[in-house]
A and B are shown apart, each in its own frame.
Chain A
Amino acid sequence: MTRAEALVGVRNVSKRFGATRALKDVTVDFEAGRVHALVGENGAGKSTLCGVVLGVHAPDSGELLLRGSPMRLDSPAQGAGHGLVGVAQELSLLPAMSVVDNVVLGSEKRRGPFVDQRANRRRVEALMAEHGLETPLEARAGSLSVADQQKVEILRALGRESRLVVLDEPTARLAGHEAEDLHRTVRGLAERGVAVVYVSHFLNEVLSVADTVTVMRDGRIVRTASADAETQESLVEGMTGRHIGEIFPPKPPAPVTDAEVVLRVSGLCSADGDFSDVSFEIRAGEILGLAGLVGAGRSELVHAVYGAGRVASGSVELGGRRLAGDVAEALAAGVGLIPESRRDQGLVGRRAVLDNTTLPHLRSFAGWAGIRGTAERQSAEKACRDVGVRTASLQQPVQSLSGGNQQKVLFARAVLGELRLLLADEPTRGVDVGSKQAIYEALNEMARAGCAVLLVSSELEEVIGTCHRVLVMRNGRIVGHYEDADMTAANLLAASFGTHDAAAEAGGAAGGVEAGDAAGADEAGAGGVGGVVGGVAAAGAGAAGGVEAGDAAAAAEPGAGGVAGGVGSGGADGADEPGAGVAGGVGVEVDGPGAGSANSAGGAATAAGAGAGVAGGVGVEVDGPGAAAGAVEVSSP
């Protein structure tokens, strides 16, 4: 690794927006050739700090140094002139233009007045080769997967000879294996001497990909430390001043077995092929989790239950009454939805908090002269107070609130409806730890009041920490059902990736899990997870051996990997994301990219990530795009 050198220095910078002090006396160095992560809750000042470095915000006081000499940035264009570029959280590609056109946009090579397509293409090809980022050149940007779009976005930044790249929440919309790809890209950037500033809410990701971590809280820097020296617990503590164990409030008591079945879904099939033959029940007061990979058909299923998706066959019954598949009917029957994307599907951004809270319930405020304003306002006020929406007034446009508060407005909307069934699709995505906690409380509160809750989440930790039971979906089918002690990250992951059968066969390792779980202590639990993961990998390799004799030798190693893997994913602490958990076993098999490099074992294990899990999968079931990715992954480190 190159010796650290401060490319950009931030010295005693403060920044104020109106009465809000976004940055207070911030001093930090961003070094060439290193990945420097910024973590903190929403509003801690991460984005403002990035903005100062990129020239988006001018600091009120303090100064910026470029290689030690003072630098003044008045605009992002000046920042870009110094090679300081950002990749935004929301992609800014032109979807109808080709990858080449997007990458060279604004810096097209020309011959006379005409764009020289061939030269541009060569330039992009050279960039891709140099950085090992492969995407189809002529494809329309809009037709690419989110991960590929992100690559295009990064290529665009690199095309401007960047010396510092800011990535703001780059993996927020990526599936596990796509995030792994991105992590490799990020590491690659750093190895080429680029200073990378990496903002993320996913702490395990931060620990695995970053060299240095800066923790921010309330506009101040809490500390800057080597990633090796941090754990998820220490980061959360730094960000919130609270301990990680306090994030999940105690679950409400599980419903008694004769509690009323609120929702019964039988043999439901999508008309668009997104899911098929789905059956399950939820009782009053029960929180049922729905886990699985992005694209497994979970959101589509939720929409179908809500009456907003097209159904080919099967039935949805609420309290014994069959729903016909119409949103208005579902609402009237007491079904509420917190949609996956609050911006695109949930809120009308420019309208007031009040309007957004009461939108589906206006009928109940109808009076002879239109809406009864006082009654509406009082109800909305109460609902917002109940779920802890923080807003200056109900007349505030909802888009002016923070992400967490916007999400709470959707909960206030749900609470207002006196729900019998709440469908919450990724309700904590992109919100800070404090808001997450409030959202878990709101979910629990609803369950305690007798509401049935269906929680869709890609964060396994969240599913395990809040649900009574969990279903796992893969390729549009329900492939697993777990409760109590079976509800482990390893089981859920294995089912999500389709390596579950292998885990069952690897009896010894599976036993290891249970032992670990029963012990309950943090360390033992982590070991247990690692154990199973190793087991999965071992079984996978074993099966592969059965099919292909050539791999038999390899089978022994993953087996061993299982043990070491326990340590590895223990470091990453409980697979709360697909990549991390499955990691361990193969991480070692591939000859510890982890163990070797400067990172902690935990970090490295995650880096080896999905590849490992999927590699196990390759052996057992030769299916899915994951398999191919896994094969590549295993050989590449």
Chain B
Amino acid sequence: MMIAQSLPVARRYGIAVVTVALFLGLAATTDGFLSQANFRNILDQQSALLIAASFATITMISGGFDISAASVYVVSPLFALQVENSTGNAALAVAVGVAVGLAVGVGNGLVVTVLKVNSFIATLATSFMVFGAGFLVSDRSVLRASTDAWPSIARTRWWGITTGAWLAAAVVAVAWILLSRTRFGRHVYAVGGNAEAARLAGVPVARVKTICFALAGASAGLAGVVSSSRSLSALPSDDFSFVFGVIAAVVVGGTSIAGGEGAVWRTIAGAFFIALMINGFNLHQIDPIWQRVIQGAVILAAVSIDAWSQRRAL
């Protein structure tokens, strides 16, 4: 019993422990790591990913797998910038960008719950549609911001930290509270852990799932807006890489792909683990090609250790 009660603590917070260890290791060995500028930079770079990943975590806990985040991330700023260019109203443009994501998310949710299509397949299909819409709305060209308000969305500094990072912190806080403190959060865990038991306990299973996809879509839309505000432009593409970063953060954090288990704090830890690792590579000037190989190996190791510890924890 002693063992059974003390070890799980280390196991439960394993990813946080590893991330802190990595931080300390880099701080001790790497020049230039322990500087305010470096941390600000990391925070700013992670803002878009954190915004999308915190709600992707909730979707994954509910048993859904949403890969349309990449397409929404690419396309929502295209819609937003078209609005910004024609109206000059940045607030309206942000709203449109988020609304595009919300609409895609609701669509995903309905396809998954009403048509009962596997969520990976459903969101893969919608991804192509959304990527295509991006090319249509932008006429296959780069869109640039026309107002000063657009870059100020994510690039304004409050106490030295960019508004993009503040925005990410706010979104993370909302997702965290939603998942851990509210009825909706409990329902998400129940739906992902045992949908039939949830249904018989009066949980509106289809509604919960749909809301998860809708929120994930909206957050991916906001992530796209933040990213384009940082870069002052948006480019149509069919690049899936954003969602792989999101999923890597969620999974390295220890949220179960099978659903029913996980937490927002885990995703934050996972995201920073990966970010610190890349930062360390860069500061040590490791060849980017080798960075990828090592990064993949480290992710694999992290996930294996997590799977092993969770199995043992039973």
A347 close to chain B: CB less than 8 A: yes
B28 close to chain A: CB less than 8 A: no
CB of A348 within 8 A of CB of B183, answer no
B200 close to chain A: CB less than 8 A: yes
- In angstroms, Cα B202 to Cα A369, docked, is 22
> Size of chain A's interface in residues, with CB distance under 8 A?
32
Contacts of B296 in A (CB 8 A): none
Contacts of B182 in A (CB 8 A): 370-371
Q: How far is the CB of B186 from chain A (nearest CB, A)?
A: 6
Contact of A345 among B3, B193, B200, B314 (CB under 8 A): B200
- From B181, which residue of chain A is reached at the shortest CB distance? A370
B260 close to chain A: CB less than 8 A: yes
A350 close to chain B: CB less than 8 A: yes
- In angstroms, Cα B1 to Cα A366, docked, is 35
A593 close to chain B: CB less than 8 A: no
- In angstroms, Cα B193 to Cα A399, docked, is 12
Among B158-214, those with CB < 8 Å from A are: 177, 181-183, 185-187, 189-190, 193-194, 196-204
- From A338, which residue of chain B is reached at the shortest CB distance? B200
- From A367, which residue of chain B is reached at the shortest CB distance? B181
CB of B203 within 8 A of CB of A347, answer no
- In angstroms, Cα B182 to Cα A363, docked, is 10
Contacts of A370 in B (CB 8 A): 177, 181-183, 185
B4 close to chain A: CB less than 8 A: yes
Contacts of A363 in B (CB 8 A): 183
Contacts of A369 in B (CB 8 A): 177, 181
CB of A371 within 8 A of CB of B186, answer yes
CB of B197 within 8 A of CB of A348, answer yes
CB of B200 within 8 A of CB of A350, answer no
CB of A346 within 8 A of CB of B3, answer no
CB of A348 within 8 A of CB of B190, answer yes
A511 close to chain B: CB less than 8 A: no
CB of A308 within 8 A of CB of B260, answer no
Report A371-415 CB contacts with B as 1/0, cut-off 8 Å: 100000000000000000000000000011000000000000100
Among B254-288, those with CB < 8 Å from A are: 260-261
> Size of chain B's interface in residues, with CB distance under 8 A?
27
B2 close to chain A: CB less than 8 A: yes
Contacts of B190 in A (CB 8 A): 348, 351, 355, 359
Contact of B183 among A306, A347, A371, A413 (CB under 8 A): A371
Q: How far is the CB of B175 from chain A (nearest CB, A)?
A: 13
- From B185, which residue of chain A is reached at the shortest CB distance? A370
- In angstroms, Cα B190 to Cα A18, docked, is 30
A362 close to chain B: CB less than 8 A: yes
- In angstroms, Cα B203 to Cα A355, docked, is 13
Contacts of A331 in B (CB 8 A): 201-202
Contacts of A258 in B (CB 8 A): none
Q: How far is the CB of A148 from chain B (nearest CB, A)?
A: 24
- From A397, which residue of chain B is reached at the shortest CB distance? B314
CB of B199 within 8 A of CB of A359, answer no
A129 close to chain B: CB less than 8 A: no
Pick the most buried of A348, A360, A363: most chain B CB atoms within 10 A of its CB.
Answer: A348
CB of A359 within 8 A of CB of B198, answer yes
Q: How far is the CB of B204 from chain A (nearest CB, A)?
A: 7
- In angstroms, Cα B182 to Cα A339, docked, is 26
- In angstroms, Cα B134 to Cα A50, docked, is 62
Contacts of A484 in B (CB 8 A): none
- In angstroms, Cα B149 to Cα A382, docked, is 56
A18-B1, A19-B1, A19-B2 given; A344·B197 CB < 8 A: yes
Contacts of B261 in A (CB 8 A): 350
A337-B200, A344-B196, A359-B201 given; A350·B186 CB < 8 A: no
Report B138-150 CB contacts with A as 1/0, cut-off 8 Å: 0000000000000
Contacts of B2 in A (CB 8 A): 18-19
CB of A348 within 8 A of CB of B194, answer yes
- In angstroms, Cα B277 to Cα A248, docked, is 64
Q: How far is the CB of A60 from chain B (nearest CB, A)?
A: 15
CB of A355 within 8 A of CB of B186, answer yes
- In angstroms, Cα B203 to Cα A333, docked, is 15
Contact of A359 among B181, B186, B196 (CB under 8 A): B186
A176 close to chain B: CB less than 8 A: no
- From B203, which residue of chain A is reached at the shortest CB distance? A359
A363-B183, A369-B181, A370-B177 given; A348·B189 CB < 8 A: yes
CB of B202 within 8 A of CB of A328, answer yes
- In angstroms, Cα B194 to Cα A351, docked, is 10
Contacts of B199 in A (CB 8 A): 308, 327
- In angstroms, Cα B190 to Cα A358, docked, is 11
- From B261, which residue of chain A is reached at the shortest CB distance? A350
Contacts of A371 in B (CB 8 A): 181-183, 186
- In angstroms, Cα B204 to Cα A117, docked, is 47
Contacts of B200 in A (CB 8 A): 306, 308, 327, 337, 339, 345-346
- In angstroms, Cα B189 to Cα A355, docked, is 9
Among B1-17, those with CB < 8 Å from A are: 1-4
- In angstroms, Cα B5 to Cα A18, docked, is 11
- In angstroms, Cα B196 to Cα A345, docked, is 5
- In angstroms, Cα B187 to Cα A399, docked, is 18
CB of A18 within 8 A of CB of B3, answer yes
Pick the most buried of B181, B202, B203: most chain A CB atoms within 10 A of its CB.
Answer: B202
A308-B199, A328-B204 given; A351·B1 CB < 8 A: no
Pick the most buried of A18, A328, A350, A360: most chain B CB atoms within 10 A of its CB.
Answer: A350
A325 close to chain B: CB less than 8 A: no
Contacts of A413 in B (CB 8 A): 201
A255 close to chain B: CB less than 8 A: no
Contacts of B185 in A (CB 8 A): 370
A349 close to chain B: CB less than 8 A: yes
Contact of A348 among B1, B3, B198 (CB under 8 A): B198
Contacts of B187 in A (CB 8 A): 362
Contacts of A346 in B (CB 8 A): 197, 200
CB of A348 within 8 A of CB of B196, answer no
Contact of B314 among A20, A358, A400 (CB under 8 A): A400
A362-B186, A369-B181, A370-B181 given; A351·B202 CB < 8 A: no
CB of A345 within 8 A of CB of B197, answer yes
Contacts of A20 in B (CB 8 A): 1
Q: How far is the CB of A51 from chain B (nearest CB, A)?
A: 16
Pick the most buried of B177, B182, B183, B196: most chain A CB atoms within 10 A of its CB.
Answer: B183
Contacts of B201 in A (CB 8 A): 327, 331, 359-360, 413
Contacts of A400 in B (CB 8 A): 314
Report A57-97 CB contacts with B as 1/0, cut-off 8 Å: 00000000000000000000000000000000000000000
Contacts of A348 in B (CB 8 A): 189-190, 193-194, 197-198, 260
Contacts of A347 in B (CB 8 A): 194, 197
- In angstroms, Cα B259 to Cα A508, docked, is 62
- In angstroms, Cα B4 to Cα A339, docked, is 31
- From B1, which residue of chain A is reached at the shortest CB distance? A19
Contacts of B3 in A (CB 8 A): 18
Which residues of A approach B to under 8 Å, CB–CB? 18-20, 306, 308, 327-328, 330-331, 337, 339, 344-351, 355, 358-360, 362-363, 366, 369-371, 399-400, 413
Q: 10 interchain pairs (CB within 8 A)?
A: A308-B200, A327-B201, A345-B197, A346-B197, A350-B193, A355-B189, A355-B190, A359-B203, A362-B187, A363-B183
Other than the given A331-B201, A345-B196, A400-B314, 14 more pairs (CB < 8 A) read A18-B2, A20-B1, A306-B200, A327-B200, A339-B197, A344-B196, A345-B200, A348-B193, A348-B197, A350-B193, A351-B190, A359-B203, A370-B183, A371-B182
Which residues of B approach A to under 8 Å, CB–CB? 1-4, 177, 181-183, 185-187, 189-190, 193-194, 196-204, 260-261, 314
Q: Which 3 A-B pairs have CB atoms at the shortest separation, nearest pair first?
A: A370-B181, A348-B193, A362-B183
